[in-house]
């Protein structure tokens, strides 16, 4: 029988040591053995043993050397980028984006599928995801490493049940949809491949906190501004990021009807779909037959013409400014409640509207927020572009890989929430 220390087996301790070393190398590497010991609290002998074990598993390799003071050069270590592959999926409201990445999150292959969620039952969405997943796997066939899992960002609330992840997305017509089991049937990947399903705003937040504009802070709000709006609140560390249904905060009593069925939601005024609807109602004319992204670009150009001497369209300009005020008011609630150091705005619509729109949001925010928390917060655009949700989705199987100490999954994932949620305690931001 394996020995126990304080209720943990020797196997548990070895896994924890492997996890700590892999995380340290991933976020702060390359590093030498001498640096790793103090960083994770292990003796030099333990570091040597864990490194030897990880190297034998093909997870860690040498990455050059650096001079040391008065001694032999120190060998640097890093995680082998090709020791595993990850798939990130962004199920948006206008398209599905799928990427195959290596362990360093370098893109190996990508594809997209146009989508109108309102016109697609979950089985149809799953078939589109499945065809895109197999396309990137075929395109990336020459790259080494096992597939470590598929991460999926979706609109709506994700609940974990014994049968797998279930999605509640009233704005897209999904009522307790058993998405994980539907995807397993559609994708037909090996049973050992885990699926990690999370709210898209949460995966956007995870990506920006790990690799984007959130680095260096542990308290942030990350806003997803697309067809609708959502947010992710990060307090303490990125492993504790949680999506909140911010788009369904009431901003006007007896206001416009939201897609969720309620009256006066922020999303009924501030999402791209609502913004364009309001422009049409006021007499604006988006390009005939244009998709949402093209129509929003046309509206922005009407409000802020690029051509010198062209007069802005007053209706478009007024609605964009009003939308900035609604977002400023909505953000004030998040600032007052959570007192973040940063608010980061991402999503295709947020990035498309850009810095000029964000300047208007900043201008309105102090009107509605308490003076002390708003004086300490900065409002910035996300840095990862339109791939942020996809990259964030890919971090979910990556975090689970770390939690297992780099070992392959031994059995299908438990439906309990996710081991990965606590796997990166305090490490993602340093």
Reduce the DSSP state of residue 140 to 3 states and report it. coil
Res. 219: pLDDT tops 80: yes
Tokens for 401? Answer: 């890989």
Contact between 203 and 392 under an 8 Å Cβ cutoff? The reply is yes
174: its two tokens: 């999904």
Residue 116 pLDDT: 78
| pLDDT tens digits along 256-280 | 999 888 999 999 999 899 999 999 9
More confident residue, 289 or 111: 111
Rg (CA), the chain: 23
Sheet holding 31-32, edge to edge: 31-32, 74-79, 60-66
pLDDT beyond 80 at 181: yes
Q: Tens of pLDDT along 366-407? A: 999 999 999 999 999 999 888 899 999 999 999 999 999 998
pLDDT band, residue 416 (cuts 50/70/90): very low
H helical segments located in 212-271: 267-270
The whole-number average pLDDT for the span 236-255 is 81
pLDDT at 285: 87
pLDDT score for 422: 42
- pLDDT at residue 105 is higher than 80: yes
Q: In what order do the strands lie in the sheet with 174-177?
A: 157-161, 164-169, 174-177
pLDDT tens across 315-338, in order? 999 999 999 999 999 999 999 999
Instruction: Please tell me the distance from the alpha carbon of residue 358 to that of residue 67, in angstroms, as a whole number.
Output: 47
The reply to whether omega before 30 is within 30° of 0 (cis) is yes
User: Which residue did the predictor score with more confidence, 137 or 210?
Assistant: 137
pLDDT above 50: residue 420: no
Beta bridge partners of 204: none
> Which of 145-149, 210-214, 216-220, 418-422 tops mean pLDDT?
145-149
Residue 348 and residue 224: Cα distance in Å, rounded?
A: 8
Least confident of 231-240, 247-256, 335-344, 379-388: 231-240
Going by pLDDT thresholds of 50, 70 and 90, the confidence category of residue 427 is very low
Taking the C-alpha atoms of residue 51 and residue 57, their distance in angstroms, rounded to an integer, is 10
Residue with tokens 């840095």: 383
Q: pLDDT exceeding 90 applies to what percent of the chain?
A: 61
Question: How would residue 409 be classed by pLDDT, with cut points 50, 70 and 90?
Answer: confident
Residue that the structure tokens 């994708």 belong to: 187
Q: What share of the chain is helix, strand, coil (3-state, %, to 5)?
A: 45, 25, 30
Residue 413 is predicted with a pLDDT of 45
Is 419 a residue whose pLDDT tops 50? Answer: no
pLDDT tens per residue, range 32-84: 999 999 999 989 899 999 999 999 999 999 888 777 666 677 889 999 999 99
8 Å CB contact between 232 and 417: no
Quote the tokens at residue 123. 């089985």
Please provide residue 406's backbone torsions phi and psi, each rounded to the nearest 5 degrees.
Answer: 85, 5
- pLDDT of 138 > 70? The answer is yes
- In terms of Cβ atoms closer than 10 Å to its own Cβ (0-12, 13-18, 19+), residue 160 is middle
Q: What was the pLDDT predicted at 198?
A: 94
In 250-397, where do the E strands start and end?
342-346, 378-381
Q: Is the pLDDT higher at 308 or at 1?
A: 308
Q: What is the reported pLDDT for 289? A: 80
How many Cβ atoms from other residues are within 10 Å of residue 288's Cβ? 6
Residue 132 pLDDT greater than 80, yes or no: yes
- Our measurement of the distance from residue 182's CA atom to the centroid of its chain's CA atoms, rounded to an integer in Å, reads 22
pLDDT of residue 30: 92
pLDDT of residue 291: 87
Question: What pLDDT is attached to residue 430?
Answer: 30
Tokens of 430: 């340093």
Residue 8 — pLDDT band, cuts 50, 70, 90?
Answer: confident
226: which 2 tokens?
A: 């697309």
In this structure, are residues 214 and 342 in contact, taking their beta carbons and an 8 Å threshold?
yes
Cα–Cα distance for residue pair 107/101, rounded to 1 Å: 5
Token duo for residue 315: 């209706």
Where are any strands of DSSP class E within 309-366? 342-346
State the CB neighbour count (10 A cutoff) for residue 204: 34
Tens of pLDDT along 141-175?
A: 988 889 999 999 999 899 998 889 999 988 888 88
β-pairing verdict for 31-32 and 174-177: unpaired
Q: Is the pLDDT of residue 423 over 50?
A: no
């Amino acid at each position: 029988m394996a020995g126990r220390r304080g209720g943990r087996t020797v196997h548990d301790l070895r896994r924890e040591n492997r996890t700590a070393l892999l995380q340290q190398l991933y976020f702060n590497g390359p590093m030498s053995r001498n640096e790793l010991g103090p960083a994770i609290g292990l003796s030099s002998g333990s570091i040597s043993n864990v490194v030897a074990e990880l190297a034998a598993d093909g997870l860690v390799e040498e990455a050059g050397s650096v001079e040391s003071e008065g001694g032999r050069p120190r060998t640097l270590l890093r995680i082998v980028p090709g020791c595993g592959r990850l798939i990130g999926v962004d199920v948006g409201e206008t398209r599905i984006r799928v990427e195959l990445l290596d362990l360093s999150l370098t893109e190996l292959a990508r594809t997209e599928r146009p989508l109108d969620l309102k016109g697609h039952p979950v089985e149809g969405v799953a078939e589109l995801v499945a065809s895109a997943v197999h396309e990137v796997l075929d395109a990336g066939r020459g790259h080494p490493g096992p597939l470590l899992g598929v991460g999926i960002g979706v609109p709506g609330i994700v609940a974990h049940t014994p049968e797998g992840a279930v999605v509640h997305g009233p704005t897209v017509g999904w009522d307790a949809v058993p998405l994980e089991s539907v995807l397993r049937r559609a994708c037909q990947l090996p049973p050992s491949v885990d699926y990690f399903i999370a709210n898209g705003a949460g995966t956007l937040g995870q990506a920006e906190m790990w690799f984007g504009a959130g680095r260096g802070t542990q308290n942030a709000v990350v806003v997803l501004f697309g067809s609708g709006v959502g947010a992710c609140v990060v307090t303490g560390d990125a492993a504790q990021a949680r999506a909140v249904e911010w788009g369904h905060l009431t901003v006007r009593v007896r206001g416009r009807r939201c897609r969720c069925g309620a009256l006066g939601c922020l999303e009924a005024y501030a999402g791209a779909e609502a913004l364009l609807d309001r422009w049409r109602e006021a007499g604006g004319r988006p390009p005939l037959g244009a998709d949402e992204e093209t129509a929003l670009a046309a509206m922005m150009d009407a409000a802020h013409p690029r051509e010198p001497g062209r007069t802005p369209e007053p209706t478009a300009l007024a609605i964009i400014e009003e939308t900035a005020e609604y977002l400023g008011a909505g953000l004030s609630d998040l600032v007052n409640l959570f007192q973040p150091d940063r608010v980061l705005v991402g999503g295709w619509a947020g990035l498309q509207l850009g810095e000029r729109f964000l300047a208007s949001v900043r201008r309105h925010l102090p009107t509605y927020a308490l003076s002390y928390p708003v004086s300490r917060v900065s409002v910035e655009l996300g840095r990862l572009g339109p791939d942020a949700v996809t990259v964030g989705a890919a971090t979910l199987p990556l975090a689970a890989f770390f939690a297992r100490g780099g070992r392959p999954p031994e059995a299908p994932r438990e439906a309990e929430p996710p081991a990965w949620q606590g796997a990166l305690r305090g490490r993602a931001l340093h």
